Structure formats: C-alpha cells, structure tokens
Copies of this chain bind each other. A is one copy, B any other.
Amino acid sequence: MSRAAQQPPAARPTLEAVAARAGVGRGTVSRVVNGSSKVSAKARAAVEQAIAELGYVPNQAARSLVTSRTDAVALVIPESVAKLSSEPYFSDIITGVSAELADSDLQLLLVLVRDEHERERLSRYLTARRVDGVLLVSVHQDDPLPELLERLELPAVLGGRRSERETLSYVHADNAGGARAAVRHLLSRGRTAIGTVTGPLDIEGAAARLAGYRQALAEAAVPADEGLVAHGDFTERGGREGMRELLARRPGLDAVFCASDLMAAGALQALREAGRRVPQDVAVVGFDDSVVARHTEPPLTSVRQPIEETGRLMVRSLLKEIAQPGRFRRQTVLPTELVVRESS
C-alpha cells in the first residue's frame, strides 16, 4: 500500500480529466485555458473550478508539438572577447531582457558561446527551431550567426549591428554621438593632444566610437594624428597596454578617450605607472558609465549608455517580430549622456 502510494509521483491531470470533471468537451477546456472569448460564462466557471480542484497545468510539450511554438527566446552572448563578470554590459542586458520578458509568457534561454564547438551546437539548436526568437548581443562583423538567423527566417533582434546597412532589427546606443560628446568635453577643458584607445573594431559600436572621436576633432579643426590612436579590446589589460603605447608614441598627450570604462581603468594604471597625474597632466574619459567608473581613482568621467533599456527594447522589438513575422526591420538608436567626474 505504502509502496504503491509512493511510486507514481502524482500523475498530472490532463486536459481530458479537466473536461470530464467540468462536464464539458476538450475543446471548451482548451478555449478557456487559452482565453478564447467564445465560451459561455457557465462553461467557463465550471472549467475554471475543475482546473483549480485538479491543480491542472497545461503540458507545454504537447502544446508545442501542435502549435510549433516553444514560448521561449534565446539570449545569445558570444563570450569570445570579454568575460561575463568583468563586463557589466552583459549583466545589464540580461537584467533588462529578463524584466521585459517577465510580463510575457516567454521563457529566457541564456546561451553563452565560447568557441566554435558551442557555436555549432547553437546552430543546430536554432535550426531545430527550439526557440521562437533570438536576441544577439556583441555582434562581430564576420559573425556567421546573423546570417543563419536570416536564412532560417527566425525572428531576431541584435544588440548593436554589423554595419550601417544592417538588414536585421537592432537596438543600440548612439556610439558616435557619445564619443563626440566625450571628445568635445575634453576640448572644452582646453585639452588639445587627445588620444584614444579603441575597442575591437570588428564590432561596429567600437568603430563608431572611433569615428565619433575623429569627427569631434575634425569639427574643432584639430589635425588628425594616427599616432594618437591605439587599439584595445575592451579589457582592462588592453586599456593598460594601449595607454602605454600612446605614452611611448606621444609623450605630450594631455587627454585620452577610452572606448570602455574597463579600458579606462587600465589606462589609469598605465598613467600612474608613468607618473602622470589624472586629471592634471592627462584627462581620462571612459564609456559605459559602469560600476567601475565610480570606483577608480579618480572616478571616471564616462559616457553613459542605457544598457538595461537596450535589453528591454530588444525584447519589445522581438515580441513584435514574433507576433507578425512580416520581417520588417525595427532599428532603434538610444541617446547617450556624458557623466562628468574627477578624471577630466
């Protein structure tokens, strides 16, 4: 007796069981569960009571099998460049995405792609259409994923874009504008020899920040000097090395714009190491206005971009695209804002 009781972990009731209990047909129960309006008040009440009594919960697999919807979307984060934990960008994206998704009935699948092998796995997964849509952040120029998404006609929204002629939907911050504001700010502080440490230029956002830097200088009629441009990779180490390079090439520089806060933190280290005072000798500006910006010594002036908001908007675009797959691009650009602190 006790054996029998413990063996089957309380088989879940089915639609059919609910129908029987409520004294209606399967169709009616299905209609109630899915919120159809074409059900009489009486039938609805009976069904709802039966559902409550039985503790009925729909079986998603069965539903999915017939509707071929999965009620899940994937957030894909290529982790090739930065570690999740050191790059606050990803955490904020996740927060925004999750928050916006909470009101829908969609589940969030998190997929970190570390290497070729894992990308392969993801491709198979997407080909199997195991999700209704995909959010993809930190896209590289030659990333094969966006193309795959287009080919599969899978609803997708990018965080960032591959180029200015992006064919997929995307949401991103006004990187060029933000960089421009940063450099103008440095100019307004009387700085003239302004260097920059870029991010990986195969990410359009990084390229746009470099372009913004150049624009601002050009507007101010400051002659271009490629010796003032060092290439980083968004990491702290990259920032440190980029800064050292700049100092070696142009010892007289009096300001630097870094394409990320993490790199700016690295730059601060290199400057300290070289005995330069910040901001007296060299002013520093970062990008992202992440947690680190407030904790460096001195705290960083930085370009704030609304990352969490980016995640939210990505979801909103994706939901629309899923609702009506008439794939028309939805491309959103969010404004940035300069936050001035002691480093400039």
Chain A residues within 8 Å of B, Cβ to Cβ: 9, 12, 55, 57-62, 64-65, 68, 70, 72, 75, 79, 83-86, 88, 90-92, 94-95, 98-99, 102, 107-112, 114, 118, 121, 124-125, 127-130, 153, 265, 290-292, 295-297
Contacts and interface: CB of A to CB of B under 8 A. Distances in A.
Nearest to A102: B118
Contact of A61 (B12, B64, B265): B64
Nearest to A68: B61
A153 B9 contact: yes
A107 B124 CA distance: 13
Contact of A128 (B60, B114, B124): B60
B108 A95 contact: no
**Of A12, A98, A99, A295, which is in contact with the most chain B CB atoms at under 10 Å from its CB?**
A295
Contacts of A121: 102
A69 to B, nearest CB: 9
A265 B94 CA distance: 24
A288 to B, nearest CB: 11
Contact of A110 (B9, B64, B110, B292): B110
A290 B92 CA distance: 17
A110 B108 contact: yes
A9 B155 CA distance: 13
A118 B98 CA distance: 11
A57 B291 contact: no
A95 B109 contact: no
B85 A112 contact: no
A275 to B, nearest CB: 17
Given A61-B64, A107-B111, A109-B110, 11 more contacts: A9-B153, A59-B128, A60-B128, A61-B62, A61-B65, A65-B65, A72-B109, A86-B291, A94-B112, A108-B111, A291-B291
Contacts of A65: 59, 61-62, 65
A152 to B, nearest CB: 8
Given A65-B61, A291-B292, A91 B95 contact: no
Contact of A85 (B9, B92, B108): B92
B109 A109 contact: yes
A27 to B, nearest CB: 20
Contacts of A58: 128
What 6 A-B pairs come out closest when comparing CB atoms?
A: A85-B91, A297-B297, A61-B64, A57-B128, A110-B110, A61-B65
Nearest to A298: B297
A265 B295 CA distance: 8
Contact of A12 (B86, B114, B129): B129
25 contacts: A9-B153, A58-B128, A59-B65, A60-B128, A60-B130, A61-B68, A62-B65, A65-B65, A75-B110, A79-B95, A84-B94, A85-B290, A98-B111, A99-B112, A102-B114, A107-B109, A107-B111, A107-B130, A108-B110, A108-B111, A109-B109, A109-B110, A110-B110, A295-B295, A296-B297
